[in-house]
Amino acid sequence: MLQTLRQHLRHGYGRHIWSRSLTTAAAASITQRSSTLAEVPQSSRLSWMLLPTKKSTKRGDTCSVATTTDMLTKAGYIHQSSAGIYTLMPLAQRAMDKIERIIDDEMQSVGGQKLAMPTLLTPDNWIKTGRWQTTGDELFTLHDRKQSAMLLGPTHEEEVTAIVKTMVRSFREYPLRLYQTTRKFRDEARPRAGLLRGREFVMKDMYSFDVTRDQAIETFGALERAYRRCFDRIGVPYAVADADSGNIGGSLSKEFHFVHGSGEDTVLACQSCGYAANEERARGSCSAHGAAYLATVVDAASGSRVAQRLVVVPAGHEPSALKIRQAWPLEPGHRLELAPANVQETQRAAADMLEPLVDACALGLPESPSVSASVAGDWHVAQAGDSCTRCASGVLTAQRAIEVGHIFYLGDKYSRSMDLTVLHQGARHYVQRGCFGIGISRVLQAAAECCSSSDAGLRWPLAIAPFLAAIVPLAGTSHVPQVYKKLAQVVVGGKCVFENNVAVDDREYLSPGFRLHDAQLLGFPLTLVLGRAFAAASEVEVQLRLPPTLSLPRAAAGIELTCIDDEYRAHVHLDRLAEFLGCLLADACPQTLH
């Protein structure tokens, strides 16, 4: 046994097991588990937790960690299994559970019923909707023992449609709003940044069913408001942008974004009227001279040209493949190629292709193929500096952003292809649909990304931090129960905010320096250090690690906060601890804690 453990240690594994099993200090801590800390649930005691943080021995190590993925890995929140596939360790799972509770709450407030659909699906329904044929490499497919094809669900429109088609008999059973929180599988071309773009990830997906279009639009509005409440409660600033419906389909969709420089999306927004849209969908006008592009449809198998059209965009702007494809949908097996057209090509195109140019005019393109300043139509990718087309007085600005949620009004998509109908007012109609997704695992890391920095280390929004506070007793755990009880008295907005929300670092086999360093690595919003000042004068050192977006008061309950190296501290007598924390939390973040 000893030899095995030594081998583990040599290979860098199991330092936790080593220190817990083999040192006398560890043995002492096991004895203490059952005595002084009886009131603290075992699940909140760091001695019971699988934490790899001890590996980082140098103080200030957090500063050398560049990305949030590194910080989360180093602090033991996530563990990479393979590219784009991660284990959520207990602390990350706690944060995820909190996000999920907020979302459950808001989904159920608009009549959402939670169910759990299978992950392992047969392609039958996917063939009916055509997505088996068109989704391509992103789909994870496999075969069962009878060699029948199967897939791992990347989304569940088909499955939920089949359920409702089988079970619902009358228009009286609508509206229906069904949702689940499950793992989704997408073989992303470029999995990146930990949980931000995974190949297996956790999503909340809701599917709505209404009898009429008006009701479905109403549902879309109700869900947009519920999503805003979710993100208000999560506590990270967000933007809501008009969006493309992509492979999900439909005609109206909005994305929810955390605005952050590391995001893969660009949101263009007008400060004058509040218009915001994903760059791929945004509309911006520009009076610059035009540039011509040839849009060519090519047969993917043979490489031969199927059709060609002329597209004119303002100079300095790229043509938008998305906008062109929307107006000119591609047949399966075809692809669109866009290339700048010089004057000769433009004229030749005009001579060769009278038909397509007529079509092009119908799309709002200029009648003359010559490059012109009077470009009608919107075929370009909008960019910062373009005029806002909604209010005409504003100018668009661009910000990078991380998409965390996406909502769609689908109309009769999926109902039509899977023949889901309802008899209403004497006529049979296709059921009207919507779908609404939040990437919960992406929200987790994106929230950390927005709140943390390589200088300050890991930070969490208060509502989703795995624990709101950690108590770090530096000289024995005997005083912990008193402090724990004080925290139980703190009420913010009618809620006992520390209930089941306080971790105790009872790893007495680790040095005080290690444990203080770990508190910094883990990034819980509050750390209550019980050190010499506590033994001498019942004074708790309160360390605050809050998101930069929270504006902190200079003092709470008359007790001053001092700032040292991005961290705020206060020294508070035990008798005033509850009052101090109550005031501080009520001032700093009244809405996110309840």
Q: Which residues are near ligand ATP by CB under 6 A? A: 155, 186, 188, 197-198, 201, 203, 246, 248, 403-406, 437, 439, 441-442
The residues, ordered by sequence, that sit 6+ positions from 362 with a Cβ below 8 Å of its Cβ are none
**Residues near Mg ion (CB under 5 A):** 406
Residue 442 binds which entry of ligand ATP, Mg ion, none, with Cβ cut-offs from 5 to 8 Å by kind? ligand ATP
* Three-state secondary structure of 454-475: CCCECCCCCCCCCCCEEEEECC
Closest CB 546 distance from ligand ATP, rounded Å: 25
Helix axes 354-362, 343-352, angle to 10 degrees: 100
Residue 248 binds which entry of ligand ATP, Mg ion, none, with Cβ cut-offs from 5 to 8 Å by kind? ligand ATP
In the bound state with ligand ATP, the residue whose beta carbon lies nearer, of 188 and 224, is 188
Closest CB 197 distance from Mg ion, rounded Å: 12
In the bound state with ligand ATP, the residue whose beta carbon lies nearer, of 203 and 584, is 203
In the bound state with Mg ion, the residue whose beta carbon lies nearer, of 256 and 534, is 256
Chain position whose Cβ is nearest to ligand ATP? 439
- The one-letter code for the residue type at 258 is F
Residue 74 binds which entry of ligand ATP, Mg ion, none, with Cβ cut-offs from 5 to 8 Å by kind? none
Residue 188 binds which entry of ligand ATP, Mg ion, none, with Cβ cut-offs from 5 to 8 Å by kind? ligand ATP
Residue 433 binds which entry of ligand ATP, Mg ion, none, with Cβ cut-offs from 5 to 8 Å by kind? none
Closest CB 248 distance from ligand ATP, rounded Å: 6
The Cβ of residue 170 has, within 10 Å, a number of other Cβ atoms equal to: 9
Q: Rounded to an integer, what distance in angstroms lies between the CA atom of residue 457 and that of residue 460?
A: 10
In the bound state with ligand ATP, the residue whose beta carbon lies nearer, of 64 and 247, is 247
Chain position whose Cβ is nearest to Mg ion? 406
Residue 128: closest CA among 149, 157, 153, 152:
157
CA 154, chain centre distance (Å): 16
In the bound state with ligand ATP, the residue whose beta carbon lies nearer, of 198 and 319, is 198
- Report the run of H or E that residue 30 belongs to, with start and end: helix 24-33
- The one-letter code for the residue type at 312 is V
In the bound state with Mg ion, the residue whose beta carbon lies nearer, of 439 and 457, is 439
Closest CB 184 distance from ligand ATP, rounded Å: 7
Burial class (CB in 10 A: 0-12, 13-18, 19+), 239: middle
Closest CB 186 distance from ligand ATP, rounded Å: 5
In the bound state with ligand ATP, the residue whose beta carbon lies nearer, of 248 and 307, is 248
Strand locations in 219-289 (E): 238-242, 252-259, 265-270, 276-278, 284-285
Residue 439 binds which entry of ligand ATP, Mg ion, none, with Cβ cut-offs from 5 to 8 Å by kind? ligand ATP
In the bound state with Mg ion, the residue whose beta carbon lies nearer, of 317 and 406, is 406
Closest CB 371 distance from ligand ATP, rounded Å: 34
Residue 317 binds which entry of ligand ATP, Mg ion, none, with Cβ cut-offs from 5 to 8 Å by kind? none
Residue 203 binds which entry of Mg ion, ligand ATP, none, with Cβ cut-offs from 5 to 8 Å by kind? ligand ATP
In the bound state with ligand ATP, the residue whose beta carbon lies nearer, of 93 and 389, is 93
Residue 186 binds which entry of Mg ion, ligand ATP, none, with Cβ cut-offs from 5 to 8 Å by kind? ligand ATP
Token output for 486: 């004080």
Place of tokens 């969006």: 243
- The one-letter code for the residue type at 21 is S
Token output for 516: 């203080």
Closest CB 244 distance from ligand ATP, rounded Å: 9
Coil, strand or helix at 376 = coil
In the bound state with ligand ATP, the residue whose beta carbon lies nearer, of 263 and 457, is 263
Residue 515 binds which entry of ligand ATP, Mg ion, none, with Cβ cut-offs from 5 to 8 Å by kind? none
Angle at 228 between CA 225 and CA 231, to 5 degrees: 155
Closest CB 157 distance from Mg ion, rounded Å: 13
Question: How many Cα atoms are found within 13 Å in the side-chain-facing hemisphere of 111?
Answer: 12
The Cβ of residue 271 has, within 10 Å, a number of other Cβ atoms equal to: 11
The residues, ordered by sequence, that sit 6+ positions from 190 with a Cβ below 8 Å of its Cβ are 197
Alpha-carbon separation of residue 585 from 16, 466, 481 (angstroms): 34, 17, 22
Q: 329 phi and psi, to 5 degrees? A: -60, 140
Closest CB 138 distance from ligand ATP, rounded Å: 9
Closest CB 200 distance from ligand ATP, rounded Å: 8
Residue 33: closest CA among 356, 507, 499, 359:
507
Residue 484 binds which entry of ligand ATP, Mg ion, none, with Cβ cut-offs from 5 to 8 Å by kind? none
Token output for 80: 């990479």
Closest CB 198 distance from ligand ATP, rounded Å: 4
Residue 395: closest CA among 290, 287, 242, 262:
287
In the bound state with Mg ion, the residue whose beta carbon lies nearer, of 74 and 406, is 406
